[in-house]
């Protein structure tokens, strides 16, 4: 793997903390504002929690980006869980299948600049989110 890419397997609550810490460190290194560092860390926590809650295991990949004279951070959460049957419904505020507040995926979408979900029932889900550095 390239030095600007970090992979964190998600198999326990402790792994969520590790992913969050690594994401914060990379965001700081890339020059993100303190507010955006918190946004990125929060998004990582939400995505990693979803992996653990719905699929039991998966991974978070973090990658530094350089595009058109700007830098950014890509977060990719992937799992081989049950998948999301209705992505549109899952993206509605206050919708939750786990009894939670339903802020996870819609919240991540609001925190980040770019956001996509690919999911196949019975095969798993990949959520990709990018935050661009404002300098």
Q: Which domain holds residue 18?
A: 5-132
Bridge partners (DSSP) of residue 117 are 127
Q: Tens digits of per-residue pLDDT, 86-131?
A: 888 888 876 555 555 446 899 999 999 999 999 999 999 999 999 9
pLDDT of residue 2: 45
pLDDT of residue 126: 98
Strands 58-67 and 114-120: unpaired
The Cα 64–Cα 2 span in angstroms is 10
For the entire predicted model, the pTM comes to: 0.90
For the chain, the farthest-separated pair of C-alpha atoms sits apart, in whole angstroms, at 43
The Cα 32–Cα 40 span in angstroms is 9
CATH number at residue 47: 3.30.565.10
Mean of pLDDT values over 22-34:
96
1 SS3 class? coil
The Cα 83–Cα 1 span in angstroms is 27
Residue 109: phi and psi, rounded to 5, are: -60, -40
pLDDT of residue 94: 64
Q: Which residue has the tokens 């977060």?
A: 75
Report residue 78's pLDDT band, with 50, 70 and 90 as the boundaries. very high
Residue 48: phi and psi, rounded to 5, are: -65, -40
Q: Which residue has the higher pLDDT, 20 or 99?
A: 20
Query: Please, what is the average pLDDT of the chain?
Result: 89
Dihedral of CA 116/120/121/124: which sign?
A: negative
**% of the chain with per-residue pLDDT over 90:** 76
Q: How many domains does the chain have?
A: 1
């Amino acid at each position: 793997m390239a030095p600007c890419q970090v992979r964190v397997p998600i198999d326990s609550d402790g792994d969520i903390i590790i992913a969050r810490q690594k994401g914060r460190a990379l965001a700081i290194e890339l020059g993100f504002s303190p507010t955006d560092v918190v946004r990125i860390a929060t998004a990582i926590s939400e995505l990693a929690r979803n992996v653990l809650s719905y699929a039991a295991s998966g991974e978070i990949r973090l990658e530094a980006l350089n595009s058109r004279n700007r830098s950014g951070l890509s977060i990719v959460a992937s799992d081989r869980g049950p998948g999301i049957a209705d992505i549109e419904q899952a993206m509605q505020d206050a919708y939750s299948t786990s009894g939670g507040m339903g802020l996870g995926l819609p919240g991540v979408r609001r925190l980040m600049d770019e956001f996509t979900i690919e999911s196949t029932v019975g095969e798993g889900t990949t959520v990709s989110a990018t935050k661009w550095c404002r300098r």
